[in-house]
Structure 1
């Protein structure tokens, strides 16, 4: 594992030690949260589904009218320079509107600020986690992967304050997503997840899981489901790029089913791990 003192990061065309890397206090990401980020998992040097993550980054930048400052190959080359050869790493990419005089309107002729770093990921939640439900009081564009994450931070902290690992969010009686994850439930052996909308982040791991499940003959329903259905589900999972697929074994201080990871989660996790190894092997061949 690379310590912070020796970690190399990328900022605006330069590679430097993390502790020596600085941005301007006038950067619009610092002043307004005016930017987009992306998180890309890497396994044994293999950048996992890079094209999907790049497409999401590109779409989000287009949504906030921020030009893409590089093409896919250029970003991939930057990432490869930062990898430390760990078994599992996470690449963080952040692009802001750049440095300009503080004003709410978009500045003219300003170069975006591009920051990229890679970090080691330690998986430690496969046995299951505890969650609570909270009201989803975020804004109307949760599908944008903006760096302005204060609402999500506050929701996650509420969960931590109640000795839970994640907050599962409820809007108008229906489950949307987690504070930093997508949510799946199992009812009568059917896998159910909230459909894509402005109220959830279009997770890459979510999409991969749905494809793997459907290709293996498992039934997946993309529909709204209520908090009551969540509480009555035989299985609950959360998914994200860094956590992969994690079973929820307690919800609102009550056990989910028998309080252990379920049979369907075990099937899905096996499919996902096999998929990872297949992609790594294909790249090595």
Structure 2
């Protein structure tokens, strides 16, 4: 069954529990993580918790639980839900206090949901997705996985209104990332992706796909890419925790090849990596 967690207790997923003065509600003052569960095991849990800690530190939020306690809460939640496959969202906010821009003297609050996983249709992996290029209007610290996602939401919605599954964001003429994904391009057998600066969120799947590519002997270059460069790609794809590796079939009106040997190779390597990780952790 699907579960919620708030104020130290597991709850019915539909229970209304967030106080009106919760700073996540008032200001988006918090951070979050998304973890995918396979066969009852949270994939790359250590990497996700590392990033949660980095994001909280960047916003000067002291996490309300230790790493060990967070791991126990996640494990207990998976067991209580009985879900073998699940999506886990964790949010940590600065806490509950009457509305004031200055930091309150309050303890941070953890909330969590454990739900059935959202699945991208098989057809999307087989045929690839359409994407739309849009101006990146987000703030300067996208490396923080904060709750402030309104520009991402607007970009995703704009892409959907044009029949596209993802928006590819462009800043000063260069690709940054997707509205909820990292972007990869393959040209002349070389794998390219935007460097992990403050302008992008360094995805956990991004990191692990790059490791898989190097294991497979695929040359990797982290460099800034222009619009013309990505439109001339031999292959292109996006990655995230929820979708894994998802091929791109079209960028604006530019169609890419339906033959994807490098993506196929990486998809197979990532599948093996995922299975190994789940086996090791279980």
Would the TM-score normalized by the shorter structure come out above 0.5? yes
Q: Which runs of 5+ in 2 are unaligned?
A: none
Change (3 A) 1:173 1:41: same
Say whether 1:114 aligns with 2:113: no
Runs of 4+ in 1 over 4 A off after TM superposition: none
Q: Counterparts of 1:248 and 1:53 in 2: how far apart (Å)?
A: 26
Query: Is the counterpart of residue 100 in structure 1 residue 97 in structure 2?
Result: yes
Taking the aligned partners of 1:15 and 1:235, their CA distance within structure 2 comes to: 44
Question: Which TM-score applies when normalising by structure 2?
Answer: 0.94
RMSD over aligned CA atoms reads: 1.3
Which of 55, 58, 64 is the matching residue for 1:60?
A: 55
3-state SS of paired residue (1:19): coil
Q: SS of the counterpart of 1:20?
A: coil
Unmatched segments (≥5 aa) in structure 1: none
Tell me how far apart the structure 2 counterparts of residues 276 and 21 of structure 1 sit (CA, whole Å).
35
Shift of residue 81, structure 1, vs aligned partner: 2.3
Partner Cα distance (1:118, 1:166) in 2: 24
Partner of 1:265: 263
Report how many aligned residue pairs link the two structures.
276
- Which one of 75, 81, 87 corresponds to residue 90 of structure 1? 87
Provide the residue aligned with 2:278 in structure 1. 280
Structure 2 match to 1:189: 189
Q: Quick check: 1:186–1:234 contact (8 Å CA) kept in 2?
A: yes
Given the superposition, is the C-alpha separation of residues 73 and 21 from structure 1 closer, same or farther in structure 2, using an over 3 Å criterion?
Answer: farther
After superposition, what is the alpha-carbon deviation per residue over 1:67-91, rounded to whole angstroms, capped at 9, x for unaligned?
A: 0111222112211222244453221
Give the C-alpha shift of residue 276 in structure 1: 1.1
Equivalences for 1:39-58 in 2 at 5 Å?
39-58=34-53
Aligned-pair CA distance for 1:237: 0.5
1:149-179 CA distances to partner (integer Å, 9 max, x unpaired)? 1010001000001010000011111000000
Flag the 1:280–1:153 CA change in 2: closer, same or farther, 3 A: same
For 2:165 and 2:278, the matched residues in 1 are separated by 30
- Equivalence for 1:23: 18
TM-score normalised to structure 1 length? 0.94
Contact 2:87 2:114 in 1 (8 A): yes
Q: Is the 8 A contact 2:3 2:115 kept in 1?
A: no
Q: Deviations over 1:238-279 (max 9, x none)?
A: 00011111001111133112xx25110000000000111112
Q: Deviations over 1:22-55 (max 9, x none)?
A: 1111111101010000011111111111111000
The equivalent of 1:137 in structure 2 is 137
Residue of structure 1 in register with 2:158 after alignment: 158
Tell me, in whole angstroms, the C-alpha distance in 2 between the residues paired with 1:282 and 1:106.
41
The 1:255/1:85 distance shift into structure 2, 3 A limit, reads farther
2:221 aligned partner: 221
